[in-house]
A and B are shown apart, each in its own frame.
Chain A
Amino acid sequence: MLTLEKRSEPSQLWTALTPVLAVLLTMIAGGFLFIILGKDPFLALRIMFWDPLFDEMFGAYFRPQLLVKAGPLILIALGLSLGFKAGIWNIGAEGQYIIGAVCGAAVALAFYPTESLFIFPLMILAGGLGGWMWAMIPALLRTKFNTNEILVSLMLVYVAEQILNTLAIGLLRNPDGNGFPGSRNLQDYYSASNMEIWAGTGAHWGVVLALGFAVGFYILMNQHLLGFQTKLTGQSPRAAKFSGINPNLLIVVCLGLSGMLAGLAGIFEVSGPSGQITIGFNVGYGFTAIIVAFLGRLHPIGIVLAGLLMALTYIGGELAQMQLALPAAAIQAFQGMLLFFLLALDVFSNYKLSFKFGKVS
């Protein structure tokens, strides 16, 4: 009889090993999925995971895309990881991302066409503040009225999407755009454009900031009291309370920080790779970042690696869409599967599998 025995300490080996195993299992299961769909599994997997980086023809276009896509994912996932550790579930990062983008772009567009060095930092600040503000809604409702932050943050995603649509055809619409929805392109506005720093790498200021935050979070988690407090609250809310941690303050800090990072990701995206506020400008980074946070084991270095891998599935998915006529959502099925395997394998970090004969409790 197989039984699970609880480990006294989570296994370090399994914690590190599970993401790798999960990726392998996803590839195998994905291969079977492709067979069912009538596609050659080896070709499909090569197109999704190998060609975007190493193919002679596509590589040059897709390689920079890796950092472009990984940047926002890492930025958002870092913020989420802090709350997830403490059992605070912000799953509305997508909404905070949208509001950050909208607020930042609004500030930049208000200055158009003035050129000044101050516009860029001001715009970024507004983006971060916008995301923070949007996350403060579930935070305050949770602390004041004990309202479930999962549902509120999620409902606010739909609200944010509608605000985005209203602004894209209303207040922020490009006055010279012949009535088409969408704002002015910030890439054409020098003072507000978030350009590639090194040509051909895809690295813009958002990517640099994401990596900077990863280092910052590493220090925060290991050296700072806040890191300890989030871990303790996640493992035992009662013990955390007795040790003098203010749970409400922790909720506000965790949600606020994750909202701010999502907002920053939004404004870097809208002023860089995507360029303008349009209907449906958001592509689901806020949701994928949840997987990134888990896949990265809620650990800053893990999140950077997981962000890169998820970015690869995005661009691989794009390539597969073009070459194999797979629907765009196929990639979501892949990402969901990856999370399934990861969560299932996770049990071995906390429990030991053992054979037992005779009576089982």
Chain B
Amino acid sequence: MDTSTISPALLIASLIIASTPIMLAAIGELVVERAGVLNLGVEGMMITGAICGFAVSVETGSPTLGVLASILGGAALSLIFAILTQFFLANQVASGLALTLFGLGFSALIGKGYTGIKPPDLGSPNLGFLTEIPFFGTTLFEHDYLVYVAFGIILAVSLFLKYTRQGLILRAVGEDHSSAHALGYKVVRVRILAILFGGGCAGLGGAYISLIRVPQWAEGMTHGAGWIALAIVVFASWKPLRILFGAWLFGGLTVLQLNLQAAGVTKINFGIFEIPLQVQYLTMAPYLITILVLVLISARALSNTPGSLGKSFHVSD
């Protein structure tokens, strides 16, 4: 097969771009799940963030305001989820699905007039001599601000959960909400804050797709990235730093698939036999590999699953 047109440095650079949205959404969802809440509405919050960020950037001409709007948009949608599950004690699986459905529809409604427009450029920090380093310059130091923000959030969440008192409380609430309540922690308040954080991160991840990665608006443009983010949380067995590897794996698969398509590779030769490589097979590969990874880790990950994940909390229980 002819892969000479594919440059490794550019491949890794685009891998980082492709993995950033799912990385952001996944780290948000990780915090939510560590607090014992399962929010399946990531896809809906991402697409809402994508359109809020896009529309505000276009209208105001300021990408910074757009990014802020995407965070607010995602968080606002997650507030609906928080109210439903924390005050009305609604089933979390159903509420999350409702959020995804609503987000997809609502974003399409707002985004009707925004197709075919190019958003203003967010720009990148100038890292000076770092960009001159061969290979690493292109792969690591020529990205936009949000790539570094994403790394920063992951590091911050990791430190927060491990070393701060608030992080410990959050984990306690997720492991056993009845005991946490008995100790005097505000279970509902902690969970609402976690849900809002998750919504903000998902919204930001969505804006990364519509403002930087594509950059354009199209109905349903997240194409299941939110669901992959959910899978990555399980893949990372609820550990923040492992989100990086999960996101890179999936980002890598997406990029590889796009590059192979662009290079016109039609079959992979294994010496004795050949596998025909159609676009469709490449497109389904990330999903199949997600399933494979889920199977491989699910037996082991069980011990890490937050104890109260997906259960409603009410003081009378």
Binding site for B on A (CB under 8 A): 4-6, 33, 37, 89, 91, 141, 145-148, 150-152, 154-156, 158-159, 162-163, 165-166, 287, 290-291, 294, 326-337, 339-340, 343-347, 350-351, 361
Contact = CB atoms under 8 A, between A and B. Distances in A.
B29 to A, nearest CB: 12
- The 4 A-B residue pairs with the shortest CB-CB distance in the complex, in nearest-first order: A336-B102, A333-B105, A332-B105, A329-B108
11 contacts: A4-B314, A148-B298, A151-B230, A335-B105, A337-B102, A339-B94, A340-B98, A343-B95, A344-B84, A347-B88, A347-B90
A163 B291 CA distance: 16
A6 B316 contact: yes
Interface in B213-245: 219-220, 224, 227, 230-231, 234
B281 A166 contact: yes
Contacts of B107: 329
Nearest to B112: A327
B288 interface: yes
Nearest to B316: A6
Contacts, number: 148
B266 interface: no
Nearest to A170: B278
A337 B134 CA distance: 52
Nearest to B81: A340
B298 A332 contact: no
Contacts of B278: 166
Contacts of A146: 298-299, 302
| Residue of B98, B99, B288 most packed against chain A (CB within 10 A) | B98
Main secondary structure of the interface of B (DSSP, over half): helix
Contacts of B100: 336
B124 interface: no
B159 interface: no
A343 B88 contact: yes
Contacts of B234: 148, 151
A346 B294 CA distance: 33
A37 B100 CA distance: 21
Contacts of A141: 291, 294-295, 298
B6 interface: no
A336 B291 contact: no
A340 B93 contact: no
A150 B109 contact: no
Contacts of B89: 4, 347, 350-351
Given A146-B302, A159-B288, A329-B219, A336 B281 contact: no
B231 A162 contact: no
| Residue of B44, B91, B93, B94 most packed against chain A (CB within 10 A) | B94
Contact of A89 (B83, B93, B299): B93
A147 B98 CA distance: 23
B315 A361 contact: yes
Given A146-B302, A361-B315, A343 B101 contact: no
B10 interface: no
A351 B317 CA distance: 12
Nearest to A325: B112
A344 B90 contact: yes
B294 A152 contact: yes
Interface in B77-131: 80, 83-84, 88-91, 93-95, 97-109, 112
B231 A155 contact: yes
Contact of A158 (B88, B109, B112, B287): B287
Contact of B93 (A145, A150, A337): A150
B207 to A, nearest CB: 19
Contacts of A334: 105
B316 A145 contact: no
A162 B294 contact: no
Given A147-B298, A346-B90, A339 B112 contact: no
B284 interface: yes
Contacts of A351: 89, 314
Contacts of B105: 329-336
A339 B98 contact: yes
Given A291-B101, A333-B104, A346-B91, 16 more contacts: A6-B314, A145-B299, A151-B291, A151-B294, A152-B291, A154-B227, A155-B227, A159-B287, A287-B101, A326-B109, A330-B109, A336-B105, A339-B94, A339-B102, A343-B88, A344-B88
A345 B95 CA distance: 12
A183 to B, nearest CB: 16
B109 A37 contact: yes
Contact of B104 (A6, A329, A340): A329
Given A343-B95, A344-B90, A151 B290 contact: yes
A97 B40 CA distance: 22
A162 B280 contact: yes
Contacts of B219: 327, 329
A2 to B, nearest CB: 10
Contacts of B94: 290, 294, 339, 343
A107 B270 CA distance: 33
A147 B224 contact: no
Contacts of B179: none
Contact of A162 (B80, B91, B283): B283
B280 A163 contact: yes
A144 B98 CA distance: 30
A330 B103 CA distance: 10
A147 B102 contact: no
A354 B302 CA distance: 39
| Residue of A4, A155, A166 most packed against chain B (CB within 10 A) | A155
A147 B302 contact: no
A334 B98 CA distance: 10
A161 to B, nearest CB: 8
Contacts of A148: 234, 294, 298
A291 B280 CA distance: 30
Contact of B101 (A150, A159, A335): A335
A213 to B, nearest CB: 22
B40 to A, nearest CB: 7
Contacts of B90: 343-344, 346-347
